[in-house]
Structure 1
């Protein structure tokens, strides 16, 4: 039976950070399931950097159909979790079903991939002890969120802590997916790949 990976996202997701993992998972023969607050057509965005701006710009990108609503997700039916960035995390973290989903993956020690602003969703957890003492990276503007979770912010743009893979932004997707897929294929391996050590 093919492994199933849940991708938590919503409107305003960074287009590359949701499409790239989805297609890589499918290419490897895994089931990629897009979950959102509602089962509907999602609007992704493209974040890019423009000279003279202190932060990124945002433009509309591709449409993306959500396969399932958060309320209908049975997290035990999935082997791993990916949380793309963009603006979706700041919105979906308010969904009442999100903590239940996150808690399952953390408690079961299943592989979790979080990239860019994806770290913001962990703020939905009432009990954040599962992230205390851990380390992760995220887009630099999310450093305060990572630290407020009790985790250490890793300065490198790609970081692995046990079964938690984190990336800074979409340029880090090749390494991010390499490490995530390694954990998915070899669940007992909890160490940083030789290419990152």
Structure 2
């Protein structure tokens, strides 16, 4: 069975956890959602980010999401794909050395890796995007460039694929991001 690992945390963007989780389950994949320092059955708080005409997105409380796997038990080599949820959680998740190691493992194996919105901050901290084309929420563009990546500006509904890496700027890009991620997984399994 194809296994996907989703990394999220408190104040990950609600849609960017729930939509891929449910969509990938619907396709018959085993999907484990984990957060550092939390265990299976623990909850994370999510945030809803919306685009309402302000200079940046608005933020509202999201749902409680029940984790279905324990972070400390993750063995990256057992997973066929990695999905990095966006949102404010990425500000602190990118400081976790175990998460950075997981990202490096997927990139070294050229295994499918999807990152959305601020999830790309984890990849910049892992130092795995030099020379890669990718997109992110526009406020992350300077980090992408400083980490040696080539930032591609696309509409929020689009995604960018570069080898095993697929990225999108925000949750409106889920159809494109997930379509491309699933396509990469299909070519690997």
**TM value normalised by structure 2:** 0.92
Q: What are the superposed Cα offsets for residues 123-143 of structure 1, whole Å, 9 maximum, x if unpaired?
A: 332xx2x42111100000110
Structure 2 distance, partners of 1:99, 1:137, is 19
* 2:133–2:151 Cα contact (<8 Å) kept: yes
**TM value normalised by structure 1:** 0.88
Residue 107 of structure 2 corresponds to which residue in structure 1?
Answer: 106
Structure 2 distance, partners of 1:21, 1:140, is 21
Q: Does 1:46 align with 2:48?
A: yes
Residue 172 of structure 2 corresponds to which residue in structure 1?
Answer: 171
SS in structure 2 of the partner of residue 122 of structure 1: helix
* 2:3–2:81 Cα contact (<8 Å) kept: yes
Q: What are the superposed Cα offsets for residues 34-87 of structure 1, whole Å, 9 maximum, x if unpaired?
A: 010122210011001223x21111011111112334332110110110011111
Moved more, 8-17 or 96-105: 96-105
1:17-36 equivalence runs, <5 A: 17-36=16-35
Structure 2 distance, partners of 1:68, 1:89, is 19
Structure 2 distance, partners of 1:59, 1:87, is 12
Offset at 1:147?
1.0
**How many aligned residue pairs are there?**
183
SS in structure 1 of the partner of residue 97 of structure 2: coil
* 2:35–2:71 Cα contact (<8 Å) kept: yes
* 1:70–1:98 Cα contact (<8 Å) kept: no
Structure 2 distance, partners of 1:178, 1:104, is 23
1:55-74 equivalence runs, <5 A: 55-74=56-75
Q: Does 1:11 align with 2:10?
A: yes
Runs of at least 4 residues off by over 4 Å: none
